[in-house]
Amino acid sequence: MRNYEIMFIVNPNAVEDEIDKINAQLEAVITSGGGQIQKIEKMGKRRLAYEVDRLREGYYVLFATAANGDIVKECERRLRVMDAVIKYITVRVDDDVRRLEKIRKYRQKRAARRGSGAAASASGQSIEEAMQ
């Protein structure tokens, strides 16, 4: 199981019901495949950075899920087929989360070490940090 974020853009002219229907469908795909849904976020309408299918606006929806490759594949297939969806992207996020965790731990360790060794002056420390 890996953590993925699936973000897609729905045609802004679609009705709210349609978006809910798409969400429900994806939800069903994920849960029936044994995945978990961590978050469904409707990010709302926003301007697209460039034209897609002659549209300048889009309705963004974000899914955060723990799933495996097959589930993601199926989700992408469905999104491709749906007419209202104009664009989608899947991003793997667990690598990033792990990296952040590592940085946090490292900082904690450093802070602990610094707390015990009071030899270094405060100004010296801040320069050291800036150099990093």
**Binding footprint of other proteins on the chain (CB under 8 A):** 7, 9, 48-50, 52, 58, 62, 87-89, 91, 96, 99-100, 103-104, 130, 132
Residues sharing a CB contact under 8 Å with residue 128, sequence separation 6 or more, in sequence order: 120
Q: How far is the CB of 37 from other proteins (least distance, A)?
A: 18
C-alpha–C-alpha distance, residues 78 and 65, integer Å? 16
Assign 119 to helix, strand or coil. coil
Q: Which is nearer to other proteins, 7 or 31 (CB)?
A: 7
Q: Which is nearer to other proteins, 19 or 31 (CB)?
A: 19
Q: How far is the CB of 50 from other proteins (least distance, A)?
A: 5
Residues sharing a CB contact under 8 Å with residue 53, sequence separation 6 or more, in sequence order: 11, 86
Q: In 11-127, at which residue ranges do the beta strands (DSSP E only) sit?
A: 36-52, 55-67, 85-92
Q: Which is nearer to other proteins, 28 or 106 (CB)?
A: 106
Assign 130 to helix, strand or coil. helix
Q: How far is the CB of 8 from other proteins (least distance, A)?
A: 8
Q: Which is nearer to other proteins, 1 or 103 (CB)?
A: 103
Q: How far is the CB of 54 from other proteins (least distance, A)?
A: 13
